[in-house]
Amino acid sequence: MAKYIMVGCDLHDRSMLLKIAVDRGKPRLRCWGACASSRQAMVNDLLRWATQLQAERIVFAYEACGFGFGLHDELAEAGIECHVLAPSKMERSAQRRKRKTDEKDAQAILDIVRAYVLAGVAMPSVWIPDLATRDDRELVRRRLAVAEDSSAIQVRIRWLLKRSGIESAPAGAWTGRYMEWLGRLVQKELPKGAAATLASLLRQVEWLWGGQDLLSAQVAALSRTPRHAPLVAALRRHKGVGVLTAMVFLTELGDMRRFGDRRQVGSFLGLTPGSFESGEADDHKGHVTRQGPSRVRKVLCQAVWSRLRSVPSERQAYDRIVNKDPKHKKIAVVARMRTLAIRLWHEGLAAQGVTPAA
């Protein structure tokens, strides 16, 4: 009687390539489409095979990707144990990077599953957020993406003006007066091609600004719902932390109780230094890892700069690092970002009635 069926899946937009093994047996290769009907057929096939072999357990794994957690939900609903693996936590040799194929990727995932099932090696899995958190993330991430898109177009406009030999501009970029000045350039001063390009870019940026205002209002409404209101209020007690910063922090971290201590929070956010230690070099720290959600790091950076202007104690902590070495300004900012992140984590736990770890 078989005990385990283990599956490593290389998932793509239109296809799934599976490496399937029973206990310590030789794996076999199966290919499926990625549409809903093909996924259901794959699930039915695995369940049928498990029944025939009287397997005690099916363990399935695939790498996190743009497909999200839909496949995980379908497998879990069918009673199949599924793990979504973090690509950043999977080791890849230089040789494997040069000889990459879908089959080898599926085999590598199967090897991880086998090590987990048969030898108890930790699985490099990501945390699976609930459906409400996933939906909230969609809105908050879109609000950030629209702001990034509008900033990119503003940069294009500035470069267009430089290419056209226009370097002087009214004080206060992207104010009403500035936009009126750009409109006059379109009507009178620029050549025909540059004027048409600037007009197109202005239409885009104005449309994005309108979308950004609408999304900001929707994020604000979401922050007032019973699920988020107490946590947002707790986080906003810190100067520099607005509604958007609080919502980004909450939606990206999800259930803050899953972090055991502050070190795990800093590591998840990529705000802890990497280590390069071997042999006698046992105290060699590198740059911060920058792993985890970059969106959180971005809003934390903005919040820290706001706090440096308005919170004396924050400025003093920053200056203590910079005074030791004026080249360490970025290090000082990252240190304050990490401190702020941990404080927000403590505030969130306290708002949930949980005593934070040290």
Condensed to tens digits (0 to 9), the pLDDT of residues 69-88 reads 999 999 999 999 999 999 88
Position 148 in a domain? yes
Q: Are residues 273 and 203 in the same domain?
A: no
Q: Is residue 357 part of a domain?
A: no
Q: Same structural domain for residues 291 and 331? A: yes
Of 154, 219, 165, 217, whose CA–CA distance to 191 is shortest?
165
Does residue 12 lie in a domain region? yes
- Into how many domains does the chain fold? 3
- Contact call for residues 123 and 116 (beta carbons, < 8 A): yes
20 and 69 in one domain?
yes
> Phi-psi region for residue 26, left (φ > 0), alpha (ψ -120 to 50) or beta?
beta
Domain residues for the domain of 140 are 133-223
- Quick one: 141 and 96 in the same domain? no
Residue 185 shares a structural domain with residue 272? no
Please tell me whether residues 287 and 268 are part of one structural domain: yes
Answer whether residue 45 is part of any domain: yes
Q: Count H helices, E strands: the chain?
A: 13, 7
Contacts of 249 (CB under 8 A, 6+ apart): 235, 296, 299, 300, 341, 344, 348
Based on the fold, state whether residues 204 and 237 are members of the same structural domain.
no
The SS3 of residue 198 is helix
Tell me, what CATH number does 102's domain have? 3.30.420.40
pLDDT for residue 73: 96
pLDDT-flagged residues of the chain (< 70): 1-2, 93-94, 96, 275-286, 356-358
In-domain check, residue 126: no
Task: Answer with the one of 119, 150, 171 that is the final residue of a domain.
Answer: 119
Of 177, 197, 223, the position where a domain reaches its end is: 223
Tell me: do 147 and 215 sit in the same domain: yes
pLDDT in tens, 152-164: 999 999 999 999 9
Residues 9 and 113 occupy one common structural domain:
yes
- In a domain, residue 99? The reply is yes
Among residues 62, 92, 119, the one where a domain terminates is 119
Q: Rounded to 5 degrees, what are φ and ψ at 332?
A: -65, -40
The pLDDT value given to residue 311 = 93
